[in-house]
Structure 1
Amino acid sequence: MSAATAAGRRSGAPRQGRRPGALERRTSRFGWFFAAPAVALFGFFFAYPLVASLMQSFQVTQDGVTGFGGLANYEKLAGDDLVWLSLMNAGILLVFQVPLMIGLALLLAVVLNQSWLKFRTTFRMIHFLPAVTTLVAYSLVFRVMLQADGGVINQLIGVVGIPPIDWLNNPFWARVALIGSITWRWTGYNMVLLLAGLQGIPKEQYESAALDGATGWRTFRHVVVPQLRPVLIFTSITSTIGALQLFDENFILTGGGPSNATLTPVLYLYRVGFRQFDFGYASAIAWLLVLVIGIFSIAQFWLMRDKEA
């Protein structure tokens, strides 16, 4: 008998193939007992609604009677122009708002991580404050600020001679206003995440780069960015999901208008489900959105992966 085997038997370690003893069974039961509330909450508030919405997406209502309709709701999606318009609007947010927000957050994180900057804690708190404001409250504030007549924004640009802009009733400027408000709300949140990633980079790597003669840009490109890749992937994916699931801001600012220029998939889902009461078709829209979010998330993860790994 080897020394390791003898030590394992003396320590009471379970042998392969041995039936669990009374103590192990009791411990397992206690484990399930303490985990049961979390499992019940997960099943009731997540798993059940998920399965129920999937089943509901195959149901149609005709003459007040709801029944199984097969793929009718999904076939309807293909010919619904508003579905594709809402996805296009979400795509515009992805192309313009997400890179702008992540870029600003990274710039702020780098600046607020400098040791020579005084009152760093105060500046960090100021930039993070928008993230703790409620969505409805800040959307209402922006709606007042962006009013064509007497809005603060038009008053400020009027000082430099720019004529008033109808921010909320012009399709182009409504999208600009929506992008600006979302960027103001979430830049500080992403900044804190990136700042935490920057503070996790060992100082020895900066010193090694300096000894090799690397400039500030080369250090940022070859030291900072590779170390921040996991955080950048996380912030990019969560920001993408947030843009595709956008509802509160455009619902309050523009109501999806003008001319559906700010209509997003979730807002359209709300209209179909809670105004037209077609919950089967609304569920189909939701599952289409799940598919789109999954594709974009996987694509971003693949594009930003470590190619040397």
Structure 2
Amino acid sequence: PAHFLGLIFSLPFLLIFTTFVVYPLLYSALIVSSGDYLSRVMSDPLFWRSLTNTLIYVGLGVNIKMFLALVLSGLLTFTRFKIVRAMSYLYLLPWAVPIIAGVLSYRWMLQKEWGILNRFISDIGLQPFNWLGSYEGAMAALVSFHVWKWTPLWTLTFYAARQGIDPSLYEVAKIDGASRLKEFLYITWPQLKYLYAFNTMLSTIWVTGEFDIPYLLTRGDPGETTHMLSTLGFRYAFVLLRIREGLSIYLLVIPVLLIFIMLLIRAFGGRR
């Protein structure tokens, strides 16, 4: 009876999930499988460039922000310093800023002629750089904005986890003469390593399908070279009006995400 009652209460969610997730996925798979749309997409050189860009964006963005979040969460524990106390109030601001406002400000900063970054570069005697007009500059802008935007969120999770570590462990380590590095290696890191792995995998799942930052910041420019798989699927479906090819790109990503999700559940589903 208890399981039956749980099923009854779960029916609204199951109905909504089936209607808006399962059915569209199955219908999209049916449409794509009815033709050679996958082969058309994979024969496009732009697909492989977008795949490479996605791997670069996810690989650099996720790992850089996780490392910075781990470091910043440690700095936030030094509350006896006034600058740290001030930073504890300000570090969440990038996360709180709406993405559209942040991207527009970032584009203005990177503008070649009158952007504040090139103005600073000119003032110190260096040649201004066309940040969004070159592949390397645009990819660097995408990764750096992503890191700036989302590092505070993961810093908060690591900082909260640090508060759960027994302070007596650090007191005993100080009595034994352990350095800060050894405290981190033998006390902090063993307590945080599973959370670090969990956050990395979860962030990888989220960032692989990220659309808003790449689309708003570069829209694939310059010359369609900075497309991600998410923006390329949008380009196929809503710019070129080739809906089936656009669906094919998104369906290619889903198995990869499912693998990460299964690994996440398998590795951490039973942990308490």
- TM-score under structure 1 length normalisation: 0.77
Residue from 17, 29, 38 that aligns with 1:54: 29
Paired residue type of 2:141: A
Within 5 Å, give how 1:1-309 maps onto structure 2: 24=1, 28-29=4-5, 31-58=6-33, 68-69=34-35, 72-118=36-82, 122-295=86-259
For this pair of structures, how many residues does the alignment match? 268
1:105 maps to amino acid: A
Query: Which one-letter code corresponds to 2:19 in the other structure?
Result: F
Q: For residues 149 and 221 of structure 1, do their structure 2 counterparts lie closer, same or farther at Cα, with a shift above 3 Å needed? A: same
Q: Distance in 2 between matches of 1:36 and 1:241?
A: 27
Cα RMSD (Å)? 2.7
Larger relative CO (CA 8 A, sep 6+): 1 or 2? 2
Whole-angstrom distance in 2 between the partners of 1:168 and 1:40: 45
Check whether the contact 1:139–1:253 (CA below 8 A) recurs between aligned residues: yes
Q: Distance in 2 between the 1:157 and 1:297 partners? A: 44
Q: Distance in 1 between matches of 2:219 and 2:107?
A: 11
Q: Which has the higher helix share?
A: 2
Q: Distance in 2 between matches of 1:90 and 1:296?
A: 16
Question: Quick one: distance in 1 between partners of 2:259 and 2:15?
Answer: 30
Deviation at 1:167, TM superposition (A): 0.9
Q: Is the contact made by 1:56 and 1:279 (CA closer than 8 Å) also made in structure 2?
A: no
Equivalent position amino acid for 2:114 in 1:
G
**Partners of 2:7 and 2:262 in 1: how far apart?**
34
Q: CA 1:204 to 1:50, structure 2 compared with 1: closer, same or farther past 3 Å?
A: farther
Deviation of the 1:294 alpha carbon: 4.2
Unaligned runs of 5+ in 1: 1-23, 59-67
Question: What are the superposed Cα offsets for residues 30-71 of structure 1, whole Å, 9 maximum, x if unpaired?
Answer: x5554333232222222222222222321xxxxxxxxx22xx
For the Cα contact (< 8 Å) 2:118–2:128, is it kept in 1? Answer: yes
Deviation at 1:120, TM superposition (A): 5.1
Please name the residue that 1:8 is paired with: none
1:110-158 Cα deviation digits (max 9, x unpaired): 0002242337564233111211222222111211121111111112233
Distance 1:248 1:120, change over 3 A: same
Q: Is residue 105–residue 194 contact of structure 1 (8 Å, CA) maintained in 2?
A: yes
Whose radius of gyration is greater, 1 or 2? 1
Distance 1:138 1:195, change over 3 A: same
Structure 2 alignment gaps of length 5 or more: none
- What is the percent sequence identity of the aligned residues? 29
Post-superposition offset of 1:81? 1.6
* Aligned residue type for 2:97: T
For the residues of structure 2 that align with 1:293 and 1:34, how far apart are their CA atoms? 28
Q: Which amino acid in 1 is paired with 2:98?
A: T
Is the Cα contact below 8 Å between 1:233 and 1:301 reproduced in 2? Answer: no
Compute the displacement of 1:247 (Å): 1.9
Q: Which range moved further: 99-108 or 273-282?
A: 273-282
